Every structure is written in C-alpha cells, then in structure tokens.
Amino acid sequence: MSLKRPHWLPRPDGSRDLATDDPTNVWFVHPLGRLLLPLALRLRIPANAVSVAGFLLGAAGAAALLDWRERATLAFLLCVAWLVADGLDGMIARATGSASALGRFLDGVCDHAVFVLVYLALAWALNSPGAWALGLAAGAAHAVQSTLFEGERIRFHRRLRGEPLLAAAPSANLLVRLYDSVAGSLDRLAAPFDAALAASADPAALIARYRARAAPAMRLLALLSNNMRVILIWLACLAGDPRLFWWVEIGPLTLLAAAGIAWHRRVERSLA
C-alpha cells in the first residue's frame, strides 16, 4: 500500500506524517496554526507562552461547561481555539529551534490540565458521587492513554526520519522525568525493531516497509487525539448527558489504545 501524500493534501509542517494524522488536524487545526505562525514569529512570541495561552483558552472552555446545557457550543469553540494554540506552539519551537524537554513537558502538562479542568467542571455541574467517581476513573484512563499514544507517535516519526533510539540524559526536573518514564515505558518492547533498523544494510528500504505496515495502526491511535475527545464531549453534552463521554473514555478508547499499541508491536516484530 502506497502512503505517498496526495497532491491535494495540505502541505506538512515537518512534524508528522499527514497520512497518519487526525483528519481534523490536517484540514482545520494545523492550517489555522500555520496561518498564525508568521505573525507569532514576527512578534517573537515564545512557544511556551503560546502553550500557556492555549491552556487559558481551554480553561475558559472548561468554565463554560459548568453550564453545559446552555454553553456546550461555546465551550467547544474555546477548546478548538486551545487546540489551534496547542499546534502552534510546536510550530514556533521548530521554526525557531527552541524545542526543549521543558517545552515538551509544558505542552503535555497543559493538555492534561485542560482536561482535568473539563472533567472537574462537568463533575461539579452534574454534582453527584457517581459523577465524581466516573470522572476520576475516566481522567485516569485518559492520562495513561494520551501519554502512551504520544510515545507511540514520537517513536513512529523518529523512525521515519531515520533517527536512532538514544538514551537521553535524565532531566533534573522530577515531573519531566515522570512524564518521560510513562511516555517511554514501551521502549523496551519496541527496542528490537530499532536494533534491526540500526543494523540494516538498507535502512531506507526497511523504513519504507515499516511506514507502510505501521501507518494503519497509527491512524487507529490517532482517534485518541485531543481533537476527538473535544468533539466527543461536545456531542455528549448535546445528547444531554456528558457521562456518555466518560463511559466511552473508560471503555472503547482504552480498548482502542491497547489494540493500536499491540498492532504496532506486531508490525515491529514481523519486520525485526
């Protein structure tokens, strides 16, 4: 199966393979970010400042969900603005060469913090012990799913660039080390393919086969994106019960994460 980018797809920004990206990123979120990028560079806005601004937009969306029956769409639009900022900060970091472990950690923390506030707002609005318990369980599932998905995405794109798996020096920041330990928790299981790639006599050919075989698994995992969750929360509110999203988070999305990661490992084993 060929994964060559069709001419009609938006141009990539170098951060990821469009063939495996969330369609809402490809067609809406990242194009808006690229429109804003020249202005951000001209104003010399730091990537970390955009991460914080995005968090504030997401926090405003969470506040709107305190009255989710009347303001679900407002909350959705504010969260979309957060998603645009969440993509823009990475574009700025790449364009200015300012990417760092701290920036990556801040970006991840802001993402998780927005959803913590969203879940708290919905639990507060529903105001029942069951809602609080369900929201807590869904939040824990979400945190693990998202961090593991980010690790898979980073691993996939690192390999497409032909970059070896390197043992990075532990960060001095305890929270950064904790985040990295979860995101990289599957490195040991994925290491045999990296070893095979490093030892390959024709790494370009192996990368091409890997890309073709692993892309479907990555497309499945892309359903765990923040974009999909924002849409699902909005739809659950419109349906009259935000708890529907939490049940989807705990059940179907957890199964999807497990299936996508297992699929990716099977592809690696078949090629290694």
Output the domain CATH number for residue 66. Answer: 1.20.120.1760
Give the structural domain span for 42. Answer: 20-271
In 3-state terms, what secondary structure has residue 147?
helix
* pLDDT above 50 for 187: yes
Whether 79 maps to a domain, the answer reads yes
Are 93 and 99 spatial neighbours (Cβ–Cβ below 8 Å)? yes
* pLDDT above 80 for 162: yes
Whether 73 maps to a domain, the answer reads yes
b/e map 83-122, b = 16+ CB within 10 Å? bbbbbbbbbbbebeeebebebbbbbbbbbbebbbbbbbbb
The least confident of 60-74, 125-139, 161-175, 239-253 is 161-175
* pLDDT above 60 for 144: yes
Whether 88 maps to a domain, the answer reads yes
Whether 3 maps to a domain, the answer reads no
Whether 260 maps to a domain, the answer reads yes
Segment 143-160 shows an average pLDDT of 90
* Number of domains present in the structure of the chain: 1
* pLDDT above 90 for 98: no
What pLDDT score does 203 carry? 92
Segment 155-160 shows an average pLDDT of 92
Distance CA 89, CA 150 (A): 16
Whether 218 maps to a domain, the answer reads yes
Residue whose structure tokens are 């990716």:
264
Whether 47 maps to a domain, the answer reads yes
Could you tell me the pLDDT band of residue 168, with boundaries at 50, 70 and 90?
A: low
Whether 132 maps to a domain, the answer reads yes
**Mean of pLDDT over the chain:** 87
Q: Which residue has the higher pLDDT, 14 or 128?
A: 128
What pLDDT score does 100 carry? 75
Segment 190-204 shows an average pLDDT of 92
pTM attached to this predicted model:
0.84
